[in-house]
Amino acid sequence: DTGVSQDPRHKITKRGQNVTFRCDPISEHNRLYWYRQTLGQGPEFLTYFQNEAQLEKSRLLSDRFSAERPKGSFSTLEIQRTEQGDSAMYLCASIPSGSYEQYFGPGTRLTVT
Amino acid sequence: QKEVEQDPGPLSVPEGAIVSLNCTYSNSAFQYFMWYRQYSRKGPELLMYTYSSGNKEDGRFTAQVDKSSKYISLFIRDSQPSDSATYLCALTSGNTPLVFGKGTRLSVIA
């Protein structure tokens, strides 16, 4: 257990519905990344926060995706109008100040039917 | 050419064997090199973290970086069935997202 928690662990939704995932990083870590991982692939970068500021977004992050990190603590990732291609594991990672080691949470597995 | 190439395996070895896992990369800006272990349906767990070229050892695990060849390796000595997992290499130039290989699936047979 890295100390990074994610909720829910598994979400099944119908195409067209909105879903929201939550990540609670290790409390003293000020940087947070979201990644998406599909079967047989390594995680791919989605977006990055330093404290409450969203500093970088991947081209993978379409307009249907939005992420927030209010007050620089927990973060949420929302997907609107889900599509079957959104089915994946969504991972968040937190990073301690002065380091580049990323500690991952257990992930949220999304299944869009 | 992908930025990071990793043989997906699967790799099957007997218990006690030495395992060698490798990645090659194309971006010479990468400075920080990590290996993660991922069990099925779990998040990646950081195993080793190295900076620049050289070796780093931690128990049964040794990470090796050769920046001149753009080649990184993870060696597992005295492999155990509990080492059966997917191993991911991940690289970054610093304050940039990790770039992962596809992962190598390892099975250690008792």
> Is the pLDDT reported for residue A98 higher than 90?
no
How would DSSP label each residue in chain A?
--S-EEE-SEEEE-TT--EEEEEE--TT--EEEEEEE-TTS--EEEEEEETTEEEEE-TT--TTEEEE-GGGS-EEEEESS--GGG-EEEEEEEE-TT----EE---EEEEE-
Find out whether A77 and B29 touch, Cβ atoms under 8 Å: no
Interface test mutation site (partner A, options B31, B46, B72, B98, max chain A beta carbons within 10 A)? B98
Residue B46: helix, strand or coil by DSSP?
strand
Q: For residue B81, is it left (φ>0), alpha (ψ between -120 and 50) or beta?
A: alpha
* Residue B103 Cα, gap to closest chain A Cα (Å): 6
> Is the pLDDT reported for residue A57 higher than 90?
yes
- Range A100-107 average pLDDT: 94
pLDDT tens, residue by residue, A9-51: 999 999 999 999 999 999 889 999 999 999 999 999 999 999 9
Q: For residue A71, is it left (φ>0), alpha (ψ between -120 and 50) or beta?
A: left
How confident is the model at residue A2, as a pLDDT? 76
Strands B85-92 and B32-38: antiparallel
> Is the pLDDT reported for residue A68 higher than 90?
yes
How confident is the model at residue B95, as a pLDDT? 78
Other Cβ atoms within 10 Å of B69 Cβ, number: 10
How confident is the model at residue B62, as a pLDDT? 97
Task: Note down pLDDT in tens along chain B; length 110 residues.
Answer: 679 999 888 999 999 999 999 999 999 999 999 999 999 989 999 999 998 788 999 999 999 999 999 999 999 999 999 999 999 999 999 878 999 999 999 999 99
How confident is the model at residue A43, as a pLDDT? 97
Q: What is the mean pLDDT of chain A?
A: 94
- In this complex, the residue of B42, B94, B101 whose CB is nearest that of residue A100 is B94
Other Cβ atoms within 10 Å of B47 Cβ, number: 18
B102 vs A contacts (CB less than 8 Å):
40-42
Find out whether B80 and B106 touch, Cβ atoms under 8 Å: no
